[in-house]
Amino acid sequence: MKAQDARSLGLARWSVAVGLGVFGIKWLAWELTGSVAIYSDALESIVNIVAAVGALVALAVAVRPADATHPFGHTKAEYFSAVAEGALILFAAFEMLRAAWARFLNPQPFTEPALGLGLVALAGAITAGWAFLLLAQGRRVRSPALVADAQHLLTDVASTVGVLFGAGLAWRLGWWWLDPLVAAGVALNILVVGLRLVRRSVGGLMDEALPPDQVERIQRTIAANLDGALEYHDLRTRASGPRAFVEFHLVVPAAMTVEEAHAITDRLERALAEALPGAETVIHVEPESEAKHGGFRA
């Protein structure tokens, strides 16, 4: 197993442990206060735990090397984890809205508000610290599963801050109707995040092209290393987990030898690997008779 893959798996295991600890703190805070807003925050932490477990399983599958039945590897398994996390977020959002509506119809004061809100603040601080660490490391190892987990945790932090403010205001002013209103706000916030997460993950499963900035970087790199060739065309890109795939047709002079053409493709592959770490490039070499009008010429 590569060191990068081992690190990803280690981070995923820690995410499960952190999620369990934060959920326990928030659940205790809900038990102490009876706040439906804190209940919503705790419910979101359950989603964090399940999502972390899903990311761990997906990463364990994704690190498997390519084989006869999966010649391109198993990296797309990470997208299934992200889709599942998005679906869980949507489910949690609707459950939060249900609980908020029930409490809005029957507002109730908090019990032990000071201790409960203090515990929520502690849980939020732990989540924020872990989310920023996970996001940085997830981007470093180019793991969609870890990045998705970190982004959801950051949403959880934002929700926790909103809960602390709203529930604290309800406690100090006695506006108990504010408690379910905050819970509904938390639900709507993560509903939007869940929809975005599902959209992004489905794009990966559907072999969506790389982001425009990465495609532009690829185009600049090819153009800068095209010496000896005539043009390139039919550039196609896609992502699969942390790996990027680049494919294009390279037109060379008809009199060029196979060895000379091979040297050009080697140069291009090395340059693209430096410009886009983790990229795998496939180049189709063609004679000048296959040149296309509108192709990118040297």
Q: What's the whole-number average pLDDT of the chain? A: 81
pLDDT tens per residue, range 93-148: 888 888 888 888 888 888 888 999 999 999 999 999 999 998 888 788 777 667 77
The answer, yes or no, to whether residue 221 has pLDDT greater than 90, is yes
Domain with CATH 3.30.70.1350 in the chain: 212-297
pLDDT at res. 269 = 92
User: Model confidence at 65, in pLDDT bands (50, 70, 90)?
Assistant: low
User: Model confidence at 41, in pLDDT bands (50, 70, 90)?
Assistant: confident
* Average pLDDT of span 182-203: 75
Distance CA 52, CA 88 (A): 12
* Average pLDDT of span 83-94: 76
CATH label, 212-297, candidates 3.40.50.720, 2.60.120.10, 3.30.70.1350, 3.40.640.10: 3.30.70.1350
Superfamily classification of domain 1-206: Cation efflux protein transmembrane domain (1.20.1510.10)
Q: What global pTM score does this model have? A: 0.59
Q: Compute the half-sphere exposure of residue 74: CA atoms within 13 Å on the CB side of its CA.
A: 16
Can you read off the two tokens belonging to residue 33?
């206060």
Can you read off the two tokens belonging to residue 94?
């609707």
pLDDT tens per residue, range 263-284: 999 999 999 988 888 788 999 9
pLDDT at res. 7 = 72
Domain with CATH 1.20.1510.10 in the chain: 1-206
